[in-house]
Amino acid sequence: MRRAIEELIQKWLAENPNEHLPGAGQPLDLDEYFRWPEELRLAYSLLKSSGHVPEEVQLLREIGELKQRLAKAIDTAGRKDLERRIQEQEVALNIRLERHRRR
C-alpha cells in the first residue's frame, strides 16, 4: 500500500512540475501534531491541511480581535458591548477546553 501511494505521489509530481506546495523541500514539523490529544490528531491534521482550524483556535482569534477593538473603542456603550462579548467568548473557550481535559 505504501509503495502504491509513493508511486501516485511521484506520478503527480512528474505531471505537475510547476506546482508549488507549501513547505516543499522542508522537513515535516511533527512536534505540533504530537502535542494534540491522540484521539484528535487525525481530525485536527485534516482541518489544518484544508485551511480550517479547531473551534478553540477560532475562539482565541475572535477574542484577540475583540480585545484589539476594545483598545481602540472610545464610547462607553461600545466598550461595554465589547467587554461583554469578550467575556462570552472566553467562557465558551473555557468550556470547550474543560471538555477536552475531562476526556
State residue 63's pLDDT score: 93
In sign, the C-alpha dihedral spanning 84, 90, 96, 99 is negative
Q: Which residue has the cell 513547505?
A: 23
State residue 70's pLDDT score: 94
**Beta-carbon neighbour count of residue 66 at 10 Å?**
21
Residue-level length of the chain: 103
Across the range 58-78, mean pLDDT stands at 92
State residue 35's pLDDT score: 77
The number of angstroms, rounded, from the C-alpha of 83 to the middle of its chain's C-alpha atoms is 24
The mean predicted confidence, pLDDT, of the chain is: 84
Domain ranges of the chain: 53-103
pLDDT tens digits for range 29-53: 777 778 778 888 888 788 877 888 7
- Helix ranges, 50-75 (H): 55-72
Q: State the pLDDT confidence band at 66, using cuts at 50, 70 and 90.
A: very high
State residue 72's pLDDT score: 94
Q: State the pLDDT confidence band at 14, using cuts at 50, 70 and 90.
A: confident
